[in-house]
Structure 1
Amino acid sequence: MEWFTPWFSASGYELSRLVLQRALATVYLVAFFSAAMQFRALLGEHGLLPAAAFVRRVPFKAAPSLFHWRCDDRVTGACAWAGVALAAAVVAGAADAVPLWASMVMWALLWVLYLSFVNVGQIFYGFGWESLLLEAGFLAIFLGNARTAPPVLTLWLMRWLLFRVEFGAGLIKWRGDQCWRDLTCLYYHHETQPMPGPLSWHFHHLSRRLHRIETGANHVAQLIVPFGLFFPQPIAGIAAGLIILTQLWLVLSGNFSWLNWLTIVLAFAAVDTSAISGAPSYGAVPPWFAVVVCVAALLIVVLSYWPARNLVSRTQQMNRSFNALHLVNTYGAFGSVTRVRQEIVLEGTDDERLTADTAWREYEFKGKPGDVRRLPRQFAPYHLRLDWQMWFAALSPAYTRGWFEPLVERLLVNDRPTLRLLRTNPFPEQPPTHVRALLYRYRFTTREERRETGAWWHRTFVREFLPPVHVSGERGNRTP
């Protein structure tokens, strides 16, 4: 098939493929490490939403997962650490040191393992970047390794994925909140985003003129630039570079798990590096590999009908999968922007009897705002799943269904896996007798307030979110 090789293979993308694969494996490593650290407390046998109960009521066809055969803490933990080890091996170059078929098996195992977690993860794995990692990871199976040239078809499919990520996000904004169209959304977004980063306070205090420029630039980057990915070089490379710069700006301004990093990784599928990497020589494309890549490409083309239709629909949906394998999904975020930030603050006390003088102590989360003097931390690309759900819960009690009261119950008994999800435990010796939840309005301090108080946040009490709960699980009664 020597005649087929020049048509099938992409010359000049060898270095881009190397960066893309190693970076994608790094994202996989972070994702599996997140599962190793958090899955037991969130979805384990005694977790907030036990995965074992989920697989008993949901058939394999609806949610394919290895955990349908066995779902306990030992198996899920072993799979998470196996994913960490395999991803680390790929980062170190193992997939380039083995035959092509073995490399494809390694990437396929990463995909199957992570699919198994996502499909039983329920709301804790219901984020768009989970599907994005699975879709990118599936395409990576057909990207080849150092023994063969990068397939043109796979690189184009990755560009199509990147286009849907960016263009879908741009459309959902333009069709959504009015503030995106009048360029005012960033008056609020840096303050009200799910998990601000260490620079978010400074971004929020940029001038309103700069905020409007930011918003306008975002529309250009997401609604116009992605079309350049399908043009010949150097236009495609320039478009990829602009997308990378835009995503790095987002990395600096907040914590969005691995969404921005994975978008940056995908952009390398459009970067021609022949000027710096030369032109390595490869043998003929193995016939079986060409057939497999073509079949995979045909599958993606067929499955693209539903997300493509979604893009042009007036009722566009964001972050939706049209199949249980999470292949060819729709993406998008922040179609509406919250104007006011509210936070749920969990408190406990060791008083046996509640009075007006009862002393309450706060639980601190790792990422979400709590202590007004604590500077927001940088956690992305690591994903703090409970912190994100607490942001959703503050928007509406509907988001607490099924997991919030179990969380409070775990705090009442000092459940160690649950406490490891938090930054601090104010009751290290004995569990609290009561736990409650209060709702506060948070806003960034002004520059003057920051100088005077040293605080990054100012908060105002709104209402009681959950009345005090006893260790028995019953609601407590206050005495005046």
Structure 2
Amino acid sequence: MDWTSWFDAHDYEIARQIVQRGVGALTFVAFLSTLNQFRPLLGEHGLLPVPTLLRRASPLRGPSVFRWGYTDRRLVALAIAGMVLAASVVVGLPQLGPPWVPMLVFLALWIGYLSIANVGQTFYGFGWEMLLCEALFTVAFLGSNDQPPPITIVVAIWWLVFRLEFGAGMIKIRGGREWRDLTALMYHHETQPMPNPMSRQAHLLPAWFHRGEVLGNHFAQLIVPFLLFVPGPVGSAAAAVVILTQLWLIVTGNFAWLNWITVVLAASAISDPVWHAVIPVIPADLGTDSTTTPLWWFVVVGLVTALLLVLSWWPIRNLVSRRQLMNASFNRWMLVNAYGAFGTVTTQRIEIVVAGTLDAAPDDDSDWREYGFKGKPGDLRALPRQWAPYHLRLDWLMWFLPLGRMWEPWFETFLKRLLEADVPTLKLLAHDPFDGEAPRWVRARAYHYRFASRAEYRATGDRWVRTLEGEVIGPAALR
């Protein structure tokens, strides 16, 4: 018997395959999103140019290969390289070699995406950015097909899912009253940042169903995560509960890869015998017992495990704190972070609608034409699209505008780009009402949006009903 046999998680080979390939697939999507959106948002001529950030005296929030200089070409090269490496993981090529091969591939992806996130400013200020970085680092040490996955790394992934779920549950309990009186999901489907095709149908479900949703959420996030650490059927059942609740969020919303990666990581707690019991054609003993774990690999994984244990002190302290931080990293490498989402739920949806006109002297009677965004609501008749796990960064930031400072620096530049008919910026939108021609004036108005009732939809064909709240910017011209 191998002296490291206790170290090997023989019953979690399917879990390893799902986690490695799933994280690889979502990393591919993340780099694809960067390739398509980073340059108009943050590139040399973007809304918040990275070169301007690098010229400031203040240090970056973490390490980045762009610290020594940024160009759009370097960004494109990094994004494409990330997509190629991520695709190789999805098809399983690095996993065919010794364990150091997938380790180096995942660490390269981690450094690459960390470099992007650390210069991405507000456009990369989302919790799932650090979640992806932490997942890439942790999954790097799951090994290859030559030996069973290390049990300490499998448990480290369970610990990541625990922080993700329990942190979100605690932030809700400590947050808005709507989570305690069970009314949160009477609003959330309508007011979430980016609805999807099923969001309106979910919103129109009866109040008792929405209360049940909140109760189910509290059970899944406050109780179930503890059971993930019980190996075998109990941990597998806990993982199934997490996966099912995340699938409901996928069906009813567009939260980039947040829910998708939670599903992938939660699958790490489902053992091979449970997979075999549910799907008998899957062998119950896929894990290999024949290959001896190399001593050097044992040492590497041991050191990484010790590092993750030490870094766990800060998120543990955060979880028990009355001033719990939501989506916080306690080190520059985005490892062992604190997570949480929607501590409060907005009860009204306010949308910023941007429009332009060719008229020389604009007034309310001018021919104002509205710009259409890809994900955020605008056209009252349009059925929202499913975008997740792809992340529309501009649309998400537009949702945050009414919740904070209206005049953000990037938004001012965005309006200027519209007045210039800037092609890269217009490609971020779904509809340019001027077909490439530059408007003379633009304005921004705030509207209250709500889902149309079934009766209203039958009468008008509109999926949304909106009411003007007021004008917040404009009319504004280049001069």
Question: What interval of TM-score do these two structures reach, taking the shorter chain for normalisation?
Answer: over 0.9
CA distance in 2 between partners of 1:98 and 1:36 (Å): 29
Say whether the 8 Å CA contact 2:356–2:370 is kept in structure 1.
yes
Say whether the 8 Å CA contact 2:394–2:428 is kept in structure 1.
yes
Q: Which residue pairs with 2:74 in the alignment?
A: 75
Say whether the 8 Å CA contact 1:158–1:269 is kept in structure 2.
yes
CA distance in 2 between partners of 1:419 and 1:463 (Å): 25
Q: Which residue pairs with 1:290 in the alignment?
A: 298
Matched letter for residue 111 of structure 2: V
Matched letter for residue 210 of structure 1: F
Say whether the 8 Å CA contact 2:103–2:140 is kept in structure 1.
yes
Is residue 144 of structure 2 the alignment partner of residue 145 of structure 1? yes
Q: Which residue pairs with 1:458 in the alignment?
A: 465
Give the 3 Å change call, closer, same or farther, for CA 366–109 of structure 1 in structure 2.
same
Say whether the 8 Å CA contact 1:61–1:324 is kept in structure 2.
no
Q: Which residue pairs with 2:207 in the alignment?
A: 208
Of 401, 410, 419, the residue aligned with 1:393 is: 401
Say whether the 8 Å CA contact 2:452–2:465 is kept in structure 1.
yes
Matched letter for residue 232 of structure 1: P
CA distance in 2 between partners of 1:255 and 1:58 (Å): 37
Q: SS of 2:372's equivalent?
A: coil
Q: SS of 1:63's equivalent?
A: coil
**Displacement after TM superposition at 1:86 (Å):** 1.2
CA distance in 1 between partners of 2:191 and 2:22 (Å): 30
TM-score by length of 1: 0.96
Give the 3 Å change call, closer, same or farther, for CA 61–337 of structure 1 in structure 2.
closer
CA distance in 1 between partners of 2:473 and 2:147 (Å): 59
Deviation by residue 1:135-182 (Cα, 9 ceiling, x = unmatched): 011001111011121000000000000000000000000111111111
Say whether the 8 Å CA contact 2:456–2:462 is kept in structure 1.
yes
CA distance in 1 between partners of 2:358 and 2:147 (Å): 65
Is residue 360 of structure 2 the alignment partner of residue 335 of structure 1? no
Matched letter for residue 475 of structure 2: P
Say whether the 8 Å CA contact 2:231–2:269 is kept in structure 1.
no
Q: SS of 2:156's equivalent?
A: helix
Q: Which residue pairs with 2:452 in the alignment?
A: 445
Bigger Cα displacement from structure 2, 56-65 vs 420-429: 56-65
Deviation by residue 1:14-62 (Cα, 9 ceiling, x = unmatched): 1111111111100000000000000001100010111121122266674
Say whether the 8 Å CA contact 1:444–1:457 is kept in structure 2.
yes
Deviation by residue 1:416-459 (Cα, 9 ceiling, x = unmatched): 11111100111114211111101000000011001011111000
Say whether the 8 Å CA contact 1:4–1:285 is kept in structure 2.
no
**Displacement after TM superposition at 1:401 (Å):** 2.2
Say whether the 8 Å CA contact 1:149–1:282 is kept in structure 2.
no
Deviation by residue 1:225-281 (Cα, 9 ceiling, x = unmatched): 001001131100000011000100110111100000000011121110143332433
Matches within 5 A, 1:191-202: 191-202=190-201
Bigger Cα displacement from structure 2, 75-84 vs 218-227: 75-84
TM-score by length of 2: 0.96
Tell me how large the CA RMSD over aligned residues is. Answer: 1.2
Q: Which residue pairs with 1:101 in the alignment?
A: 100
Deviation by residue 1:341-384 (Cα, 9 ceiling, x = unmatched): 00000000111222442110000000000001001110000000
Q: SS of 2:346's equivalent?
A: coil
Residue segments in structure 1 that go unaligned for 5+ positions in a row: 473-480
Matched letter for residue 161 of structure 2: L
Say whether the 8 Å CA contact 1:162–1:266 is kept in structure 2.
yes
Q: Which residue pairs with 1:478 in the alignment?
A: none
Residue identity (%): 52
Is residue 408 of structure 2 the alignment partner of residue 404 of structure 1? no
CA distance in 2 between partners of 1:355 and 1:333 (Å): 41
Q: Which residue pairs with 1:171 in the alignment?
A: 170
Q: SS of 1:439's equivalent?
A: strand
Is residue 475 of structure 2 the alignment partner of residue 468 of structure 1? yes
Q: SS of 2:354's equivalent?
A: strand
Say whether the 8 Å CA contact 1:344–1:438 is kept in structure 2.
yes
CA distance in 2 between partners of 1:433 and 1:286 (Å): 68
Q: SS of 2:147's equivalent?
A: coil
Say whether the 8 Å CA contact 2:243–2:263 is kept in structure 1.
yes
Say whether the 8 Å CA contact 2:60–2:119 is kept in structure 1.
no
CA distance in 2 between partners of 1:417 and 1:85 (Å): 24
Give the 3 Å change call, closer, same or farther, for CA 90–363 of structure 1 in structure 2.
same
Q: Which residue pairs with 1:125 in the alignment?
A: 124
CA distance in 1 between partners of 2:135 and 2:418 (Å): 38
Q: Which residue pairs with 1:190 in the alignment?
A: 189
Q: SS of 2:228's equivalent?
A: helix
Deviation by residue 1:299-342 (Cα, 9 ceiling, x = unmatched): 11111111100000111110011111100111011101101100
CA distance in 2 between partners of 1:58 and 1:132 (Å): 28
Matched letter for residue 389 of structure 1: L
CA distance in 1 between partners of 2:433 and 2:311 (Å): 50
Matched letter for residue 88 of structure 1: A
**Displacement after TM superposition at 1:3 (Å):** 3.2
Of 295, 314, 318, the residue aligned with 2:326 is: 318
Q: Which residue pairs with 1:30 in the alignment?
A: 29
Q: SS of 1:12's equivalent?
A: helix
Matched letter for residue 309 of structure 1: R
Give the 3 Å change call, closer, same or farther, for CA 356–108 of structure 1 in structure 2.
closer
Matches within 5 A, 1:168-317: 168-274=167-273, 275=276, 276-277=282-283, 278=285, 279-317=287-325
CA distance in 1 between partners of 2:447 and 2:404 (Å): 13
CA distance in 2 between partners of 1:19 and 1:87 (Å): 14
Deviation by residue 1:371-422 (Cα, 9 ceiling, x = unmatched): 0100111000000000000000022225x52200000001111111111110
CA distance in 1 between partners of 2:333 and 2:58 (Å): 14
Aligned length: 470
Give the 3 Å change call, closer, same or farther, for CA 5–30 of structure 1 in structure 2.
same
CA distance in 1 between partners of 2:12 and 2:146 (Å): 14
CA distance in 1 between partners of 2:380 and 2:202 (Å): 18
CA distance in 2 between partners of 1:410 and 1:429 (Å): 12
CA distance in 2 between partners of 1:19 and 1:62 (Å): 32
